Amino acid sequence: MMRLDFVPGTMCDQRLWGKLAPLLPDYVEPNYIPLYKARTRAQMQSVIAARTAPQAHIVAFSLGAYLALEHALNHPDRVASLVLICSSARALRPEEKERRQRTMAALEKHTFAGMPPSQLRSFVHPSHMDDKSVTEVIQQMSLDLGKDVMLAQFVASMERDDLAARLDELKCPVLIIGAEEDAMVSADDLRNMAAQSSRAQLDIVQGSGHMIPLEAPEKLAAALTAFYNDAT
């Protein structure tokens, strides 16, 4: 068996991987990291350190992928392979910080009712907006995890170091996965990341938005299977 430690992103839990898990090879043993239980950046790193294997094969998404990259750079002896899905290694752009600050201010003033459709369109490809197996999972995770988790995760991700220049420090095999039409993370940014790491492979998915594990689980499963066949 090969254990894979799955780290979710903002306002996500184990349900993020629900469509992917049945498509993985029989030799895979999934382990889901409850990132949402942490409230600070330091606590998030502690959860990853405590809940991943001593020599972990980490599959991480969005915010979780940035934190997993940080973990791999700080503890290279503890990471055997690293998959980064829809996540930039760069610091947040000023306009993204401003957008998050506006969202946080609105959240603090109003009752939280989950992710509105207007925001959902930034995460999901137009062709999947009517797919309830995508949109309802995202909205239900958002409702269940709630305002406090969202605020904590936004605060934790506001001030983040630019790790792009350190990518070549990684000694383990790395797979960077993104979507050409991801409105949240530029595919060109991921191409630049892959070019900076001699250990990195790159897979850019077509026809998906940011939420690749829910929107394109078959493509993600195929990419993971090929990566582990090469890496092990």
Summarised one tens digit per residue, pLDDT across range 50-65 is 999 999 999 999 999 9
Q: Please, what are the domains in the chain?
A: 2-92+156-231 (3.40.50.1820)
- Please check the confidence at residue 17 and state whether its pLDDT lies above 90: yes
pLDDT tens across 149-172, in order?
999 998 898 888 999 999 999 999
Q: Cα 208–121–18 angle (5° rounding)?
A: 55
- Please check the confidence at residue 92 and state whether its pLDDT lies above 90: no
pLDDT tens across 95-114, in order?
888 888 888 887 788 788 88
The pLDDT, as a whole number, for residue 131 is 98
**Average confidence (pLDDT) over 180-192:** 97
- Amino acid letter for position 127: S
Answer yes or no: are the C-beta atoms of 93 and 179 closer than 8 Å.
no
Answer yes or no: are the C-beta atoms of 84 and 178 closer than 8 Å.
no
**Average confidence (pLDDT) over 186-213:** 97
Q: How far apart are CA 59 and CA 80, in angstroms?
A: 11
The pLDDT, as a whole number, for residue 57 is 99
